[in-house]
Structure 1
Amino acid sequence: MIYLDDFSKQELEYEMNALGEKPFRGRQLYKWMYSKGVFDFHEMTDLSRQLRQKLEEQYGFRNIGVIEKKQSKKDGSTKLLLELEDKNRIETVILKDGERLTGCVSTQVGCRMGCSFCSTAKIGLIRNLKIGEIVRQIIIMNKILSEKDEKLSNIVFMGMGEPLDNLENLNEAIRIILDESGLNFSHRKVTVSTCGMTDELNKMYEELDSPVNLAVSLNFTDNEMRQKYMPVSKKYPVKSLIATLKNLPVQKRKRITIEYVMLKDINDTQKDAKYLAEMLRGMPVKINLIVYNDSDIGFDSAAEKNVLAFQKVLQDKGFSAFIRKSLGSDIEGACGQLYARYNKKTYK
């Protein structure tokens, strides 16, 4: 089976041309899928019955089903367990913060970065998600929200996986998300979060016409310490990462978000805050301090007094530093908690 939702717009045009059809048929298919959220040839009414039959004989769309849905009693956020065509599973989250509805999107089944405080890392990398599997998470979330006459306002690539480790499919998914004939989001409403793959980071900025927002999961200023908990630092040291961030062609009105997960007795001292301020001096950044969600993988959240003291050090140094709300924590939908269990009976 050839899955049309694995293709970019240009590839759809080529495929229709190879089928003996005009390239604009590919654009029609693209619009049905990504603008209208239709993945059934019978509903594509501006295609002839003959063409629809021909397409049905040779092509299809990946089957993606919602297996479980959990809603937070604390803040109304919703976590979805999705089953893919090959029976692999991923989690995605609708984060609700007042009127703001953010879709937290996964890019991989599992992850190979190995961050020791992240639940997804326990799975390891099973495979990259295809273009349509990335984009259709957003379509599924919007379909659920439409039942309440709501829709996503923002997209963050902060779900399962390291987005830049699936760069080709990520970039094409972003093009669809930003395209007026696709999902039609503003680049100001889309954020990619990375643990710091600098080569791929540079490549993303080179290849995307409309740079989206960037968030970097830094968490440590000392490379030896960062390497202990985030193995990515072996290949991409902290100094190299900071140097790359300083040289990125970030648009004037945009700032890079530095994410700092605060772990009890590990990286939560005022001394750590001073090192962080020195490292980021002169850079166009804002800092999100993330209170870690206590888990069963050996880490605890920093004490509130330490978080507040850490924030004050940064603010006194002139930085915009915020304590990020832990949305969806009671449904394991918050930062670092996504873990798609493969046995449905254990998904509780």
Structure 2
Amino acid sequence: MTNILDLNLAELKQWMKSNSESEFRAKQVSDWIYKGIWKFENMNNIPQATREKLQSNFYIGIPELVEEYTSKINDTRKYLFALNDGNLIECVVMKYKHGNSICISTQVGCRMGCKFCASTIGGLIRNLTTGEMLSQIMKAQHLIGERISNVVLMGSGEPFDNFENVIKFLDIVNSENGLNIGQRHITISTCGIVEKIKEFADMDMQTTLAISLHAATDEIRMRSMPIANKYSIAEIIDACKYYINKTNRRITFEYALVADLNDTTRDAEKLSVLLEGMLCHVNLIPVNEIKENELKRASNDAISRFKDVLEANNIQTTIRREMGLDINAACGQLRRSYIKGNKVNEGV
């Protein structure tokens, strides 16, 4: 059976037509789903015969809540969801004055191997479908009883390693017939898959692009990010400049600060030279420590000094607000701890 959330409205209309149903039924079904009605039998303006056809061909793939944690510090909420096949994913809802933001996963696991990320431990199980990405937002909205207005594709997985499903997700999440979240309220993060950055640039979307850079030299980047063995920083910066020239949109560079690796003022000076003149913003991230590696969080003083150097070189810089530290809100931590504690085997 097919997850109906994987279909956009045009595809659902075509299915209706191919199954001797009126095309307008597609809009009715879609409206019910995005209003939170997740059983075909409860769609009371759809004829019984049509509902039976839908039940025979589709399921509405809303994940099951496995674990929920709410931070005592700032009301950040972390959810562990079980998909239809039993695989586990997680997402984080963060409450701000400007609205609710969600960080969603794009894959079960990840094959990029970044040392500071728990998502990569155990490797990639599989890509998420478009509908499985959408359903994280839908389920989270249901759980908090409020609308989510901002989406970040920065949870488990590398979005550009699941490019086609992610692009379709962006289309549906932005559509007035979908979740109707504006492109300018969506951020997509990549560790630097060069050809996909350029392909994304050619699409000229209004989505914010974030690059997980985390170093100013290839030598240092290779110590924590295996992707650096395939794409050099020079290639990534070249792709970013191509993106900026194509879209005239600012890029965000994510920089996780690790003690004794990339957190010195000398590192900050090198980063300043690298980004000189670019339409960009740097988001400094105090790295989340995980048990499986030796990486340690940079000190507050080192983080402040790093920021001061960048700003002295006219590079807009912020320090990411640390959300949900008491609930393991960093990518992959909750899924990893649950699998270990419950001896769960995924992908079988």
TM-score range, shorter chain: over 0.9
- 1:203 aligned onto 2:199: yes
SS at match of 1:25: helix
Aligned equivalents of 2:288, 2:71: Cα separation in 1? 15
**1:67-216 maps to which residues of 2 (within 5 A)?**
67-98=66-97, 100-146=99-145, 150-207=146-203, 210-216=205-211
Aligned counterpart, 2:7: 7
SS at match of 2:294: coil
**What is the Cα-based RMSD across aligned positions, in Å?**
1.9
Deviations 1:115-162 (Å, cap 9, x if unpaired)?
Answer: 01111110210000011110010011111121xxx3223110011100
Q: CA deviation at 1:317?
A: 0.5
Q: CA deviation at 1:97?
A: 3.7
Aligned equivalents of 2:202, 2:242: Cα separation in 1? 12
For 2:253, which of 244, 255, 258 is the aligned residue?
258
Q: CA deviation at 1:308?
A: 0.8
**1:331-342 maps to which residues of 2 (within 5 A)?**
331-334=327-330, 337=333, 339-340=335-336, 341-342=338-339
Once the two structures are overlaid, the 10-residue window that deviates more, 162-171 or 243-252, is 243-252
The 8 Å contact of residues 112 and 121 in structure 1, kept in 2 or not, is answered as yes
The 8 Å contact of residues 289 and 322 in structure 1, kept in 2 or not, is answered as yes
SS at match of 1:81: strand
Aligned counterpart, 1:221: 216
Aligned counterpart, 2:18: 18
Deviations 1:216-247 (Å, cap 9, x if unpaired)?
Answer: 11001111221231111222211100000001
The 8 Å contact of residues 269 and 309 in structure 2, kept in 1 or not, is answered as yes
Aligned counterpart, 2:32: 32
Deviations 1:33-89 (Å, cap 9, x if unpaired)?
Answer: 2x3132211222332222112222332223510011001111110000100111110
TM-score by length of 1: 0.92
Structure 1: tracts of 5 or more residues without a match: none
**1:306-317 maps to which residues of 2 (within 5 A)?**
306-317=302-313
Alpha-carbon spacing, 1:323–1:335, altered in 2? closer, same or farther (3 Å) = farther
The 8 Å contact of residues 72 and 330 in structure 1, kept in 2 or not, is answered as yes
Aligned equivalents of 1:331, 1:18: Cα separation in 2? 48
The 8 Å contact of residues 141 and 147 in structure 2, kept in 1 or not, is answered as yes
Runs of 4+ with >6 A deviation: none
Structure 2: tracts of 5 or more residues without a match: none
Q: CA deviation at 1:24?
A: 3.1
Deviations 1:298-327 (Å, cap 9, x if unpaired)?
Answer: 111011111111111100001111111110
State the one-letter code of the partner of 2:317. Answer: A
State the one-letter code of the partner of 2:23. Answer: P
The 8 Å contact of residues 114 and 120 in structure 2, kept in 1 or not, is answered as yes
Aligned equivalents of 1:9, 1:87: Cα separation in 2? 27
Q: CA deviation at 1:274?
A: 0.7
Aligned equivalents of 1:346, 1:71: Cα separation in 2? 24
Aligned equivalents of 2:331, 2:133: Cα separation in 1? 19
- 1:232 aligned onto 2:227: yes
Over the matched positions of the two proteins, sequence identity in percent amounts to 36
The 8 Å contact of residues 159 and 338 in structure 1, kept in 2 or not, is answered as no
Aligned equivalents of 2:332, 2:318: Cα separation in 1? 18
Aligned equivalents of 2:222, 2:266: Cα separation in 1? 19
Q: CA deviation at 1:113?
A: 0.3
State the one-letter code of the partner of 1:118. Answer: C
The 8 Å contact of residues 254 and 285 in structure 2, kept in 1 or not, is answered as yes
Aligned equivalents of 1:285, 1:247: Cα separation in 2? 13
Once the two structures are overlaid, the 10-residue window that deviates more, 334-343 or 321-330, is 334-343
Aligned equivalents of 1:13, 1:68: Cα separation in 2? 36
Tell me how many residue pairs correspond in the alignment.
Answer: 341
TM-score by length of 2: 0.92
Alpha-carbon spacing, 1:335–1:255, altered in 2? closer, same or farther (3 Å) = farther
